[in-house]
Amino acid sequence: MSKPTPIPITVFTGFLGAGKTSVILSLLPQLPKDYKVVLLKNEFGDIEVDSKLASQSSLAGVSEILNGCMCCVLVGQMQNALLEIREKFRPDRIIIECSGSAFPATLAFQIRQLERDTDGDLQLDAIITVVDAENFAGYDDTSPTARMQASYSDIILINKWEHVSERALDFVIDHLNTLNDATPKIKCQGRNGVDPNLIFGLQTKLFTDPTHGGLQTSTHHDEVETTTVYRGPRPHVHNHADEECDCHTQNETPSGNNIPEGGASTTTEDRDTEADVLKEATLVDALRTLSKETVWRVKGFVRLAGKGGDGEWVILNWAFGRFEITRVEDDKEVRAGCVRLTVMGERGEVKRAARRFAGLLGCEVV
């Protein structure tokens, strides 16, 4: 039997809010109808926002790794996920979208190891870094990870450049050239993203030496802190010794943990959660109070009041002052709660901002 065509892997890196998901989704309509792409995502928090968004696209499959970074603490999960994708889908291409804090070098070395383990059946094709031209100067000053992502890349995609002046864009490009003058820089074309012919099939030569696998620092993920803003059923604690205990009514808490410390279980108070909705104007007003200096991303699910008063689930995606609201086509998999948002930002500051934000929404920080 002839050896099957190897599966190329394209890795997208970029700081929080750079627009990685939007760029990836913009590629799909430009590919042949029978071209099968599977997306493996890694994100902060425990809310599968982008997986839901991506599942509404033409991707053949979406897998998401949460609550950690694939380039360090979740390396084993990434390798297992890639092998599972190969067996389950046998796609024409795998796209990995890293978390905003991921170092591309260590991810690439792990994929190089899989190349050897699979006798070349899985192959690293390219490392693509997406840069937010509007905010790069700000987060580059405080994030070694952002500088590392731009330094170790086959292509740098400059996103959101239409929102800045020519002078500001020249400054970003000049700064990128000081970090990496050998890598091509391509401007994304708004909603059209970038031509896949420019970034697929590069067959990168980066990170081929396994002796240089230690380019990360153990504290890189400490640049970003996350917290959850939640509004919905409140759990209450009861004792299993209680004769009235009725554990079959048990529901998950916002964190997904049913049994707290001490052996007591949690159940949900009686409440008409179907009627619990948020006005869009209330959400927008609260978003306007956020400072992009300390809060970098807000993403998750919100149940907004419709014209007839009924609730409709939407995906909120806020980054550095700009946001999009996308209707959820199939909300059957969206769990209980009127608001479930992950807030990401500067360590030591983001929780204070999240509490103010939560108060305006009638939510709590959990």
Residue 134 above 50 pLDDT? yes
Domain 7-210 annotated CATH 3.40.50.300: yes
The tokens of 126 are what? 């390219």
Q: What is the DSSP letter of 49?
A: H
- Run of H or E residues at 151: helix 144-151
pLDDT in tens, 180-229: 788 889 999 888 889 999 899 988 876 565 554 444 444 444 567 888 99
Which string of DSSP letters, residue by residue, matches 160-209?
SGGGS-HHHHHHHHHHHHHH-SSS-EEE--GGG---HHHHSS----TT--
Q: How confident is the model at residue 18 (pLDDT cuts 50, 70, 90)?
A: confident
Pairing of strands 311-319, 322-327: antiparallel
Return the CATH number of 226-233+275-365, one of 3.30.1220.10, 3.30.70.20, 3.40.50.2020, 3.30.200.20.
3.30.1220.10
Residue 285 above 90 pLDDT? yes
What number of helices (H) and strands (E) belong to the chain? 10, 15
Residues 81-97, mean pLDDT to the nearest whole number = 92
Q: What is residue 44's predicted lDDT score, i.e. its pLDDT?
A: 57
Of 27-31, 118-122, 184-188, 275-279, minimum mean pLDDT range: 275-279
Q: What is the DSSP letter of 222?
A: G
Q: What is the C-alpha to C-alpha distance for residues 4 and 24, in angstroms, rounded to an integer?
A: 26
Of 18-22, 85-89, 154-158, 177-181, minimum mean pLDDT range: 177-181
Cβ proximity of 295 and 343 under 8 Å:
yes
Q: What is the C-alpha to C-alpha distance for residues 326 and 363, in angstroms, rounded to an integer?
A: 21
Of 96-110, 144-158, 239-253, 338-352, minimum mean pLDDT range: 239-253
Of 18-22, 254-258, 293-297, 303-307, minimum mean pLDDT range: 254-258
> Please, what is the average pLDDT of the chain?
76
Q: What is the C-alpha to C-alpha distance for residues 202 and 328, in angstroms, rounded to an integer?
A: 35
Strands (E) in the chain, as ranges, are 7-13, 37-43, 61-66, 93-97, 122-132, 155-159, 185-187, 224-231, 235-238, 265-268, 295-305, 311-319, 322-327, 339-346, 364-365
Helix axis angle, 75-89 relative to 104-117, nearest 10°? 50
Q: What is the C-alpha to C-alpha distance for residues 237 and 149, in angstroms, rounded to an integer?
A: 45
Q: What is residue 250's predicted lDDT score, i.e. its pLDDT?
A: 39
Tell me the whole-structure pTM to 2 decimals. 0.67
Q: What is the C-alpha to C-alpha distance for residues 40 and 54, in angstroms, rounded to an integer?
A: 10
Q: What is residue 177's predicted lDDT score, i.e. its pLDDT?
A: 87
Domain ranges of the chain: 7-210, 226-233+275-365
- Run of H or E residues at 281: helix 280-288
Q: What is the C-alpha to C-alpha distance for residues 98 and 104, in angstroms, rounded to an integer?
A: 8
Q: What is the C-alpha to C-alpha distance for residues 206 and 226, in angstroms, rounded to an integer?
A: 31
Which of 74-78, 84-88, 175-179, 182-186 is most confident?
Answer: 84-88
Q: What is residue 176's predicted lDDT score, i.e. its pLDDT?
A: 86
